[in-house]
Amino acid sequence: MKANTFFSSVKSKFLSNKQAKRTIIKQHDVTDCGAACLASIAIHYGLDMPIARIRQYASTDKKGTNVLGLIEAATRLGFSAKGVKADYDNLFSIPLPVIAHVIQNNLPHYVVLYSIHSDYIELMDPAYGEMQKLSHAEFRQKWTGVLLMLLPGDDFTAGTERISLEKRFLYLLLPHKSILIQVLIGAVFYTILGLSSSIFLQKIVDNVLPEGNTNLLNLMGTVMIIIILLQIFINYAKTLLTIKTGQQIDARLILGYYKHLLKLPQQFFDTMRVGEIISRMNDAVKIRAFINDVLIGFAVNVFILIFS
């Protein structure tokens, strides 16, 4: 089918969409460029879809995604999609955005064309995760002449298929709510007791040394020893609870991920690299470290700021 015929049939429908949303999406892997481009255009029309889901729809494998796979994925998202072979002159009359197939670093690649001007083309390159402006000569040298035209169809529904970060963290934290509260309370008391050393020194300088009050010194020394022992105990308990929480979060994430892997079809493993699967398991450690160290540390620092 000639490009001009398809362009003229859908141009008015495309141009009726007044959204100017240009979403930059960085590909996770070298094979994700097609899925990232489709995700960017989907967001342009109001549909937020994870790249991983689009990869599955497009049957992305270790070699990447072909145009047919992108068309199938776009159809499942509710788009009317058509792959066309166009002349360079057609670029000035096509409705945007559109996915263009290019050769970059001697490898097949996809980019999203968002605007075409008389002296340059503005596109979203998922390899760099940024908007770029290329001269017509630069783009013409890369472009293979293949375009993927997308038009929201009757089955297209705007919305989001993503789970918010807040919900993800609540899903992880709620089962361990009581332990985390104990850790937080212990951290607060530990911090308050730590501030008592400055009060102890102040009392010695203001009350003990000027008056030579040894009885007060003995009393304060005894109290300080008790506070130090209590501080050591609280820190020990806090550390144990933190380790326990970390182990439970690790088990929940890694075991849940492992069970999920066992339920996936063989096609998933054919499309994913081994290192990519392992790296996602390693991300569980980073999530646990963030919850245990960053969140609790932030809360403690806030209390230090308040009481100081």
| 154-213 pLDDT tens trace | 888 888 777 666 777 777 777 767 777 777 777 777 777 777 777 777 777 777 777 777
In terms of Cα–Cα distance, which of 88, 84, 105, 86 is closest to 30?
105
Say whether pLDDT at 2 is over 50.
no
| 107-129 pLDDT tens trace | 899 999 999 998 999 999 999 98
| 242-273 pLDDT tens trace | 777 777 777 777 777 788 778 877 766 776 66
Which pLDDT score, from 0 to 100, does residue 274 have?
A: 67
Q: Are residues 196 and 300 in the same domain?
A: yes
Q: Are residues 293 and 272 in the same domain?
A: yes
Average pLDDT value for residue range 60-71: 87
Q: What is the mean pLDDT of the chain?
A: 79
Q: 161 versus 135: which is more confidently predicted?
A: 135
Chosen domain end from 137, 160, 183: 160
Say whether pLDDT at 132 is over 60.
yes
Residues in the chain: 308
Q: Are residues 141 and 39 in the same domain?
A: yes
CATH number of the domain enclosing 232: 1.20.1560.10
Q: Are residues 156 and 27 in the same domain?
A: yes
Which pLDDT score, from 0 to 100, does residue 271 have?
A: 67
Q: Are residues 71 and 52 in the same domain?
A: yes
Domain that holds residue 85: 3-160
DSSP letter string over the chain?
A: --HHHHHHHHHHHHHT-----------SSTT-HHHHHHHHHHHHTTEE--HHHHHHHHT-BTTB--HHHHHHHHHHTTEEEEEEE--GGGGGGS-S-EEEEEEETTEEEEEEEEEE-SSEEEEEETTTTEEEEEEHHHHHHHEEEEEEEEEE-TT---EE-PPPHHHHHHHHHGGGHHHHHHHHHHHHHHHHHHHHHHHHHHHIIIIIHHHT-HHHHHHHHHHHHHHHHHHHHHHHHHHHHHHHHHHHHHHHHHHHHHHHHHHS-HHHHHHS-HHHHHHHHHHHHHHHHIIIIIIHHHHHHHHHHHH-
CA angle 267, 271, 273 (to 5 degrees): 130
Q: Are residues 105 and 176 in the same domain?
A: no
Residues annotated catalytic, as ranges = 33
Q: Are residues 145 and 191 in the same domain?
A: no
Could you tell me if 49 and 122 are in contact, meaning their C-beta atoms sit under 8 angstroms apart?
Answer: no
Say whether pLDDT at 57 is over 50.
yes
Average pLDDT value for residue range 83-91: 89
Residue type, position 187, single letter: A
| 5-24 pLDDT tens trace | 444 444 444 444 444 467 88
